[in-house]
Every structure is written in C-alpha cells, then in structure tokens.
A and B are shown apart, each in its own frame.
Chain A
Amino acid sequence: MWTLVGRGWSHGRALAVWAAGTAQRGRLEPLPTPTRGAPAEFRAWDRLYTSAERKEKIDMSRFSVENIRNFSIIAHVDHGKSTLADRLLELTGTIDKTKNNKQVLDKLQVERERGITVKAQTASLFYNWEGKQYLLNLIDTPGHVDFSYEVSRSLSACQGVLLVVDANEGIQAQTVANFFLAFEAQLSVIPVINKIDLKNADPESVEKQIEKVFDIPGDECIKISAKLGTNVERVLQAVIERIPPPKVHRINPLRALVFDSTFDQYRGVIANVALFDGVVSKGDKIVSAHTKKIHEVNEVGVLNPNEQPAHKLYAGQVGYLIAGMKDVTEAQIGDTLYLHKQPVEPLPGFKSAKPMVFAGMYPIDQSEYNNLKSAIEKLTINDSSVTVHRDSSLALGAGWRLGFLGLLHMEVFNQRLEQEYNASVILTTPTVPYKAVLSSAKLIKDYREKEITIINPAQFPEKSKVTEYLEPVVLGTIITPDEYTGKVMMLCQARRAVQKNMIFIDQNRVMLKYIFPLNEIVVDFYDSLKSLSSGYASFDYEDAGYQTAELVKMDILLNGNIVEELVTIVHKDKAHSVGKAICERLKDSLPRQLFEIAIQAAIGSKIIARETVKAYRKNVLAKCYGGDITRKMKLLKRQAEGKKKLRKVGNIEVPRDAFIKVLKTQSDK
C-alpha cells in the first residue's frame, strides 16, 4: 500500500509531517496550497493533542447489525468518485456543507495521467431514514489494478458498491475492472450515472452500455449530478434498500479484518478494521493471525471522517484501532486480528504483497546514497508492499532493487521520492519476475525447488537445464472509440498480445480483451496507446498468472567482453529489436576511444545486432603556450581523475552516463 497519498482523511497526517519536516512545500505540486495546508495541519494538531480528551467517546452499541451497511465507491478516474463521497458526507452531516469540500484529496500528477483514482475516504455516516438511524460505512479502495489485492480486501469488508460512471465518457477500462472485482466478491452493485448536468451527457446511452457490459437492468441506474447534489439522496436510500447488512455475530469471539493501515510517527500504526465477529475495546490483547504478535489495544474509534474514539467497536462496524504496533508490516492488509487466547479461523484471502515489477534504483550521485536511503525508508514505512533489496552495479554504484505491485505503483513511488524528498534517482528499465521450471537434478537440489523465480538476469539458468521458461501475463482491457480499433490491434500484436474478446459496448465504442505478457506493457505501452488514440482509449489490466515463453538471455559485448550490467532476459521474438535498440543507444553514448569498439548483442555465441564506434582520430587541436599551461594541466588532471572512475569493460572505458542512457527507463520511445 502506498498510504500517504490516498488515505483519505488520514491524509492530514501525511501533510503535517511534510509541513513540519521539509522546506519543499513549493515543490509539492499539487500538494498543499496554503488554504489546503492549514486545515490539514489543524487536523493533525487536533488529533495529536486533543481528539481523545476533547471529544465525547461514542457509544457504538446502539447500532445493531441490521442497521449497518458497508459499501465502497468504485469508478474510473475523474468520473466523480470523490465528489460523490463529499456529497454523501455533507448530506449525512459528517462534514460541514459550508466548508469548501471540493475534492478534498490531493493527487499526484502521475495518478491523473495514469487513470488512477486515489482512495476515497473511509467514513462512518450516520443517517436517519424512515424513523431509523443507520450506520453507513463508506470504505475506501485504491483505484488501480496495481492494488487489486488491496481493493479485493477492502471490498471483502463490504456488501455492496456504488459503481460510478460518467454520463459523458461512459464505461471505461477501469470501470470494467472494478465491476468484475465487485462481481467476483458477490457484492450488490448499484450503478450510478454521474455528471448528468453536463451539456454532452448521454445517460441513456450509458445505461445501455451498463446493460450490455454488466448485464444490469437499465432501470437500476441512478442518474445524478454529484456536483450539483441532484439525486444524491436517492443514492443513500439505495444503499439502505439494495445492500444487505453484514452477516456477523456480536457474541462470537473477535474476528477483525485489517483493510488498511497507516503509520503515524507519534502513535504508531493505525489500522483500519472491519469487525466480522465480536467486540473490541481499549485494553484488549489482540493477536495478528499473520505475525502471531500480541498487542494491547490503546484506542478504538470510528472515522468520522477524522478519528473519533469510541468505547467499543462491534461486529459489523468499521473503524480504526491503535495497538502499539511500530511497523505497517505488523498490520498488513488482509490480516485477521483476534483476541489473545481466543484464536479464530482467519478470514480467507490473505496474501503477502507480491511484487510484479522490479527496477534498480540508484542515486544520481553516490554522495546522495544516504539521503536516498533515508527517503526510501520513510516512504516504505507506510508502504509495506514495496520490497527493497540492496543491490550494487559496477557502473551505477550502490543502490537498491525495488519490487513494486505494478508500473503505476513504481511511478507513484518514484514521483513521491522526487516531489516529497527532493531525491533524484536513476531508475533502471523495469523488469518482470520470470520463472524457470528446472530439469537439472543438480540445480533442483541447489535451489531446493523445481520452479524458480528469476529476478536478476544473472540467475537465468541455461536452456539445457530447464523444461520451460514462464513469463507473467495479464488480462488487459482496452476500451476505445471504434476508429482507433485497427491501430490498437496493431499495437497489441506488436506487444505479443493474444486477443481474447472484442465487443461493441455501444455504436462506436469497442472493448477489447487481450492476454499480454506483462513485460510488454511495463515500459511504454500506456503512452503508446494514449498517443495513437488521441487520448481516448483507456486501459486496465489484471493479473493472469504465468505462461510458457521462449525466453533467452541476451548478452551485450564490447569488443567481445560481456557487459554484466546489460545482460537482459528477452523473448526470442523480441531479441533482435531489443538488442538493436541497446546497441544503438550504446553507440550514441559511448565516447570514442583510441581504438574501434564493436558493440554486439549476442544470444549465446550468435551475434544478433552490431554497431561500431570508430576510433578517435584527434583531440581538439588547441595551441599551448606559456599562458595556457596552467589551464591545460588543470583540465588534463580533471579528465584523468574522471577517467579513473570509469568502469572498464576489457580495455574500454564506459562512462556512467552511457549506462544510464541504456538502463534508464525510456519514456519517450
């Protein structure tokens, strides 16, 4: 999880840390402007020193299970999820209507570009309807498939979802992905068509799309304008009518699902929990089913949307819990908490984070190593899904190999390093975890397993020692205006994708489904898709396991010497084009030397691409008389010093820049 960004109301906490600890406010575009920063700081202050004392503790026992509804809002980016959430909070008096509640959440640029919805706020709404007081828990979900595991855990705390679709843009790829997550979790889906106030809104057509794609009767759609508040009350009523109350038991021993957690530097981990059974209160000793660690509960409460302490939390309710946990890994998403000495069957579906995209991260300058290290530590304290392994490269120096849930996760992480910690890094081209099924008895003995995961190309076992290689694949959904279908299909083909499905979701929009090798979309697929469709096509994907792949290890040679940093695992069909591209980039970035350099890409002993850097014929022919000697000597000595630092491959000097140019993520291809 990458919690600081999108944790809804817990956001104030993150802002407070930044505001106090950094002088970079000006760079935090689009983070706090003074008007936003001030209430955020106030919130943090409020929580830190006074919330427990000043506020009355709520008695949550008065909300019985049948009056509780737990739900999420899911939507494609900019379809109005946050605005709808704001309106729901206002309607229920949870936040003040007079305040400027417009889009309380701040977003990183990358999130906007990449079609990610930041998490909505988790909030408990108190709502009176037909003489009864209901407790409606709006549970946040991260809005991107990189976080589909987190989404699935959040959804497992819900019984229903509001599926928000823009009346103008209609169903987008992410709408589809979100719908199926909810569908698989067997949740009630309430389709909400938003932005009906827009001039080009066509809610009827969107209604038909929903019927066609999701098989939901059109009359179940609620047409609203969250911006103007039109029909929003009906949404709340539908939540009560169409979503069932949770099936839970207060009398059973405690069983609580952790669906989110954040780290507060003063209070430790704050876990957001949904109680499936039992009751929890201050002083209880709780156990994590995953870590088996015991903690004593210091505080429980509801999110209102700020943390509001309560005496107890009861089965069916959603709230937060603080129990002296020092590390987010002690409250991992999907974990089950139970009372000490009263173990329960953990809730199903817990998985440790599984990184799918790896990249090397190095400081631009080695003197920045410690600063970068501290920045990465600070970011990962809130995001246990980033795996961090120290790594070092002969060319790039000391750094790390980081594992991310997906590409977007990686970009968010990198952008936050830059924006929040002012850290400039070299991020190497992302790779995916390949697998090999071993046939060599000796290797199986060495690895103590038959199927191994290969993260570092250096570990790639020879073909003679494996039965087969496997590569990760994803099921991609693309929704595009029909006029771009041809181009999109060509792009997908070039990326080795296999078409699974193609349907028209209305007269002029097509939904395509493809199985993609993950490796083929990690670099610039999204940008290519956007550019060939003038920005109209949307893309989303979900994990689809592994498939057999003809993988080869490609070496890059300089005058016959292998450059270890540039060993690459590549699909056989792509070897030539990838090899050629690397050779060309090297040719452009290798300075001429006193001899000719042959740059070759090779698979085994077979050369598949070659470039040549001609020998250097002459230095700059400058005069050198009495007045020039000092300057000349200084220059020569500086160059000689620089030369000492160069990595040598055989007798060829390779500047760090050349490696950077080859290894760095190429966004503009």
Chain B
Amino acid sequence: MALPGARARGWAAATKMAQTRRHAEGAKGSLSPAPPSPRAALYVHWPYCEKRCSYCNFNKYVPRGVEEAAMRSCLVTEAQTLLGLSGVRRVDSVFFGGGTPSLASPNTVAAVLEAVDQAAHLPADSEVTLEANPTSAPGSRLAAFGAAGINRLSIGLQSLDDKELQLLGRTHSASDALQTLAEARRLFPGRVSVDLMLGLPAQKSGPWLRQLQELLGYCDDHISLYQLTLERGTALFTQVQRGTLPAPDPEVAAEMYQEGRALLREAGFRQYEVSNFARNGALSTHNWTYWQCGQYLGVGPGAHGRFVPQGAGGHTREARIQTLEPDNWMKEVTLFGHGTRKHVPLGELELLEEVLAMGLRTDVGITHQHWQRFASQLSLWDVFGSSQEVKALLVQGLLLLDHRGLRCSWEGLAVLDSLLLTLLPRLQEAWLQRAPSPGQGG
C-alpha cells in the first residue's frame, strides 16, 4: 500500500481548479441518489482526541501515542476494500469526522483521498469536509489540509463564552475559535461551517441569542445548532445527576431554538434541516446524502455505512458498522482488509422508514419522485392520504402533504420526532395492507 504523497497532492492540485461554488444547484440536482446506484458518499472516522469533552460519548480515544502510519495504512486499505465491495464507481463526497480528525496529519487525509480516487472516481468538485477543532487547527495546518484535498471545514466552535467552553471541557477559548474561523474563511471561502450548542446547564436564552448574533458577524455561510444532550457516562451527566450543575431547562432550550432559527432566517439562512442552516446555497452535500438515504460507506473504527454490496453480487442494502475499538479494528483491517463488525440487510419496510424519518428532517421533505424511487407501488398518498391521525397533523399545520410531497411546516420541523410517532406506525400499517406486488422497488 504505497501512498505516495505526490500522487495525493496530485489529486488535490487537480481539484483546486475545479472548485467552484456549484453546490447551490447541487443540493437539488445531482444529489438525490437513485438507489441502487454506483455512487456513494464516504465517511472516514478518525477516533482520537486530545482530551475528552465533558458532554461527548462518541467513539473516541485519547491515545498515548498514535502510530499514524499504521492508522493511515488501515484507513486506506479499508476504503479500498469497501469501495471494491460496494461496486461504487463514483464518490460524491468525503467527510473526515471523529474524534478530532484535524489532529491527523494532512498526509493521512491525502492518502485516503488518493486511494478513493484510485478505487473509484472522486470527481474534482466533490465536497471533502474535515471536522476541525480550533486549537488543533492553526492557519498553517489548515492550509496543509487544503493542499491535501480538503475543501470544506466544519469547526466545532460550540460557544463564544469561555465559561461555557470550560464547562464543555473544550481546549479552546472563544478568541481561539474566532481566529480559526477567520483563517478558515480565508482559506476556504464560502465553505466553512460552525457548530453552536444550546441548552447548556444554567444557560439563559438572552445571552445565548447574543452569542448567535455575535457569531453572525464572523461566520461563513453554514451554521449547525445542536442542543446539548446529556449522555450517560459523560462528566456533565454525572455532574447534573449529582446536582452540582442544574439540569438544562427544556423550556429555555425551546425558546433558544425558536428564536435562534428565526434570527438565522432573518439573516438570510435557509434551515435546510432540523439542525442545519445555510445561505448562498452552501448546504452540506455529504450530510444531504444521509437525509436522502443515499448510499454511504463508513471507513474507520466504529464508522457506519449503508450500501448495497454490489461488488460482491449483493442486491440488498445493508446497514454496516465497523469494529469500534481502534486497535482491534486495525488488527482486523490488517488481516481481512476491512474491520466490518456487523452487516445487517435492511428490509424494504425498514428502508422506507428511514426514507421517511430522514427525509422529513429536511425542509424540502420527501418529494413524490424521491419516495417513488424507494416505493414504486405505494405512493405517499396511499400511505398517509386517508389517515385521520395524519389529517389532524395537517390541520394543525405541523405537516404538509400536497402535489410536491410530504414535509414539515416551520413549526412541525421542531417537533418532527413527535410527528414520526404517528407517521411510522401508519407506514407500517400501510405496508402490511399493501397489495402484494412482485415488482416492489427496494
């Protein structure tokens, strides 16, 4: 597995020229996948962090020393193996997530991208995103990632309040974050996203909105808003449990979300998904693939994928997960070429359920055409048109079902999980009652 940096840089250099702001059209046109298709998105998981954040229960490890060369080689191998297995001919986007992938060396990123381009085609205008932490990504390093082929950055800024950053266990300060953001924008204009958290213990709505307002003065064209979820096993969870921190108030979080999204709307952002806001068409095409139930490959410890293993003669989409623990994963990749721990075929109904639950997260929702690709015999009207319960949601103005398709209203998007508790059982029911047809699409 020789990974000549020159070739990697070669791919990256070639793409430089082709990088245009084409994602405005992209989100609508080429991005709706037609499964099964020889195309896919690719996720690469870098499992290491400098330190543990107090809220994070992800698959991440704080290593004593990373043998990066071994890791790099395994990522490359697994990407090659899975691409071969999937029969994918074209990769539309790559996302380096973690962990803290900005701790990896640009060489590693370049090697993976090179391998992807070799095994399948990685068009020059593909979206290639790197998650970056402010402290681990000084400007020079960001430039090196750019040279390696990264063309979009997602910065884990989280807060503009140093006390809150401390509470979250982040290693950066607000000024670190703003500095990184400024450098990132200079290097990747129009292609920088920032994450902002809401609903922290003791956080008040007013100050948080002022943070968001302040952020609007610095940010690029993409913002993600996440509510803090207290996950079992995290330091924050324990502190709240013990009463040393107040439990976040769901009422206050609701207020932040509603006012925050209104503020972003005024600032020209489109809420294209429950947590994601973009202006000037800067939607993340990679994430869009998830919500449209396109195929994606997951490479790296604990990475998830969903694809049809066409290269191995498969016809059914599988949900796949790679071995979680990095050392074990590396052993498996070394031995077998991949570290897939589990692959479960997705039933037709299951896939439809995902199409429904994921599609409704987006502002365009599920168009009739999109639905037809997965359920040729059962239209959205068939499923939802006659249900009284669904009708009640339509009347309440939370949901819309019309000639375009099924989607949430502005109010409905905030309570989508509740809507799904009505819609999913309805889909199951309709599926069981459907006229048996041999040619059911899948």
* A132: interface (CB < 8 Å): no
CB-nearest residue of chain B to A595: B396
Q: State A643–B389 Cα separation when bound (angstroms).
A: 13
Q: Given contacts A622-B229, A623-B275, A624-B361, is CB(A629)–CB(B392) below 8 Å?
A: no
Residues in B382-432 with C-beta less than 8 Å from chain A: 392-393, 396, 398, 414-421, 424-425
Contact of A622 with B290 in the complex, beta carbons under 8 Å = no
Q: State A593–B358 Cα separation when bound (angstroms).
A: 22
Max count, chain A CB within 10 A of own CB: residue among B43, B287, B421, B425: B421
Q: Given contacts A633-B354, A637-B424, is CB(A625)–CB(B417) below 8 Å?
A: no
Question: Shortest beta-carbon distance, A623 to chain B, in Å?
Answer: 5
Q: State A355–B178 Cα separation when bound (angstroms).
A: 75
Contact of A619 with B226 in the complex, beta carbons under 8 Å = no
Q: Given contacts A594-B415, A616-B415, A624-B274, is CB(A633)–CB(B357) below 8 Å?
A: yes
Residues in B245-267 with C-beta less than 8 Å from chain A: 250, 253-254, 257-258
* A617: interface (CB < 8 Å): yes
Choose one: A617, A643, A651; the contact of B415 (CB below 8 Å).
A617
* A494: interface (CB < 8 Å): no
Question: Which chain B positions have C-beta within 8 A of A594?
Answer: 393, 396, 398, 415, 418-419
Choose one: B275, B298, B350, B357; the contact of A621 (CB below 8 Å).
B275
Question: Shortest beta-carbon distance, A637 to chain B, in Å?
Answer: 7
Among the 9-residue stretches B2-10, B114-122, B184-192, B299-307, the one with 4 or more Cβ atoms under 8 Å from chain A is B299-307
Q: State A498–B238 Cα separation when bound (angstroms).
A: 54
Residues in A631-662 with C-beta less than 8 Å from chain B: 632-633, 636-637, 639-640, 643-644, 651
Contact of A626 with B226 in the complex, beta carbons under 8 Å = no
Q: State A310–B415 Cα separation when bound (angstroms).
A: 80
Question: Which chain A positions have C-beta within 8 A of B357?
Answer: 632-633, 636
Q: Given contacts A616-B418, A621-B275, is CB(A627)–CB(B302) below 8 Å?
A: yes
For B206-227 the 0/1 string (1 means CB < 8 A from A) is: 0000000000000000001111
Q: Given contacts A595-B396, A616-B418, A617-B414, is CB(A623)–CB(B226) below 8 Å?
A: yes
* B374: interface (CB < 8 Å): no
Q: State A662–B414 Cα separation when bound (angstroms).
A: 31
For B85-97 the 0/1 string (1 means CB < 8 A from A) is: 0000000000001
* B296: interface (CB < 8 Å): yes
* A99: interface (CB < 8 Å): no
Q: State A623–B275 Cα separation when bound (angstroms).
A: 6
Question: Which chain B positions have C-beta within 8 A of A626?
Answer: 41, 43, 290, 296, 298, 303-306
* A366: interface (CB < 8 Å): no
* B353: interface (CB < 8 Å): yes
* B27: interface (CB < 8 Å): no
Residues in B278-302 with C-beta less than 8 Å from chain A: 287, 290-291, 296, 298, 302
Choose one: A622, A630, A644, A651; the contact of B392 (CB below 8 Å).
A651
Q: State A442–B269 Cα separation when bound (angstroms).
A: 72
Question: Which chain A positions have C-beta within 8 A of B354?
Answer: 629, 633
* B34: interface (CB < 8 Å): no
* A341: interface (CB < 8 Å): no
Contact of B290 with A619 in the complex, beta carbons under 8 Å = no
Max count, chain B CB within 10 A of own CB: residue among A593, A630, A639: A630
Q: State A519–B97 Cα separation when bound (angstroms).
A: 65
Contact of A624 with B358 in the complex, beta carbons under 8 Å = yes
* A490: interface (CB < 8 Å): no
Q: Given contacts A626-B290, A632-B357, is CB(A620)–CB(B302) below 8 Å?
A: no
* A445: interface (CB < 8 Å): no
Q: State A220–B253 Cα separation when bound (angstroms).
A: 77
CB-nearest residue of chain B to A632: B357
Q: State A623–B43 Cα separation when bound (angstroms).
A: 16
Contact of B257 with A640 in the complex, beta carbons under 8 Å = no
Question: Which chain B positions have C-beta within 8 A of A643?
Answer: 421, 425
* A618: interface (CB < 8 Å): yes
Choose one: B253, B274, B425; the contact of A640 (CB below 8 Å).
B425
* B319: interface (CB < 8 Å): yes
For B360-373 the 0/1 string (1 means CB < 8 A from A) is: 01000000000000
Question: Shortest beta-carbon distance, B205 to chain A, in Å?
Answer: 13
Residues in A593-631 with C-beta less than 8 Å from chain B: 593-595, 616-627, 629-630
Contact of A625 with B226 in the complex, beta carbons under 8 Å = no
Q: Given contacts A594-B398, A622-B227, A636-B357, is CB(A617)–CB(B304) below 8 Å?
A: no
Contact of A618 with B415 in the complex, beta carbons under 8 Å = yes
CB-nearest residue of chain A to B321: A630
Q: State A619–B416 Cα separation when bound (angstroms).
A: 7
Number of A-B contacts (CB under 8 A): 100
Question: Which chain A positions have C-beta within 8 A of B253?
Answer: 618, 621
Q: State A350–B252 Cα separation when bound (angstroms).
A: 67
Q: Given contacts A595-B396, A622-B226, A625-B287, is CB(A630)–CB(B304) below 8 Å?
A: yes
Contact of B290 with A629 in the complex, beta carbons under 8 Å = yes
For A581-597 the 0/1 string (1 means CB < 8 A from B) is: 00000000000011100
For B325-364 the 0/1 string (1 means CB < 8 A from A) is: 0000000000000000000000000100110011001000
Max count, chain B CB within 10 A of own CB: residue among A620, A621, A623: A621
Question: Which chain A positions have C-beta within 8 A of B424?
Answer: 636-637, 640
Q: State A618–B415 Cα separation when bound (angstroms).
A: 5
Question: Shortest beta-carbon distance, B125 to chain A, in Å?
Answer: 21
For B164-205 the 0/1 string (1 means CB < 8 A from A) is: 000000000000000000000000000000000011000000
Q: Given contacts A621-B225, A640-B424, is CB(A629)–CB(B358) below 8 Å?
A: yes
Q: Given contacts A619-B416, A620-B227, A624-B274, is CB(A640)–CB(B421) below 8 Å?
A: yes
Q: State A624–B413 Cα separation when bound (angstroms).
A: 14
Question: Which chain B positions have C-beta within 8 A of A595?
Answer: 396
CB-nearest residue of chain A to B293: A629
Question: Which chain B positions have C-beta within 8 A of A637?
Answer: 353, 424
Question: Shortest beta-carbon distance, A626 to chain B, in Å?
Answer: 5
CB-nearest residue of chain A to B227: A621
Question: Which chain B positions have C-beta within 8 A of A617?
Answer: 254, 258, 414-415
Question: Shortest beta-carbon distance, A624 to chain B, in Å?
Answer: 6
Q: State A621–B290 Cα separation when bound (angstroms).
A: 17
Q: State A632–B358 Cα separation when bound (angstroms).
A: 10
Choose one: A618, A619, A627, A639; the contact of B298 (CB below 8 Å).
A627
Q: State A637–B224 Cα separation when bound (angstroms).
A: 26
Q: State A622–B226 Cα separation when bound (angstroms).
A: 6
Question: Which chain B positions have C-beta within 8 A of A621?
Answer: 198-199, 225-227, 253, 257, 274-275, 414
Question: Shortest beta-carbon distance, A652 to chain B, in Å?
Answer: 12
Question: Which chain B positions have C-beta within 8 A of A624?
Answer: 274-275, 290-291, 358, 361
Choose one: B226, B258, B290, B396; the contact of A618 (CB below 8 Å).
B258
Question: Which chain A positions have C-beta within 8 A of B415?
Answer: 594, 616-619
Question: Which chain B positions have C-beta within 8 A of A618?
Answer: 253-254, 257-258, 414-415
Question: Shortest beta-carbon distance, A242 to chain B, in Å?
Answer: 65
CB-nearest residue of chain A to B319: A630
CB-nearest residue of chain A to B419: A594
Q: State A379–B20 Cα separation when bound (angstroms).
A: 81
Question: Shortest beta-carbon distance, B68 to chain A, in Å?
Answer: 23
Contact of A620 with B229 in the complex, beta carbons under 8 Å = yes
Q: State A639–B321 Cα separation when bound (angstroms).
A: 24
Q: State A637–B352 Cα separation when bound (angstroms).
A: 13
Question: Shortest beta-carbon distance, A628 to chain B, in Å?
Answer: 8
CB-nearest residue of chain A to B411: A617
Question: Which chain A positions have C-beta within 8 A of B321?
Answer: 630
Q: State A619–B253 Cα separation when bound (angstroms).
A: 10
For A13-36 the 0/1 string (1 means CB < 8 A from B) is: 000000000000000000000000
- Give 23 A-B contacts (CB < 8 Å), ordered by A residue: A594-B393, A594-B419, A617-B414, A618-B257, A621-B226, A621-B253, A622-B226, A624-B291, A624-B361, A626-B41, A626-B303, A626-B304, A626-B305, A629-B306, A629-B358, A632-B357, A633-B354, A633-B357, A636-B417, A636-B421, A636-B424, A637-B353, A643-B425
Told that A618-B414, A626-B303, A629-B306 touch, could you supply 4 new A-B pairs with CB distance under 8 A?
A: A619-B414, A622-B227, A623-B275, A633-B350
Nearest 5 interchain pairs by C-beta? A619-B417, A618-B414, A621-B227, A617-B254, A627-B304
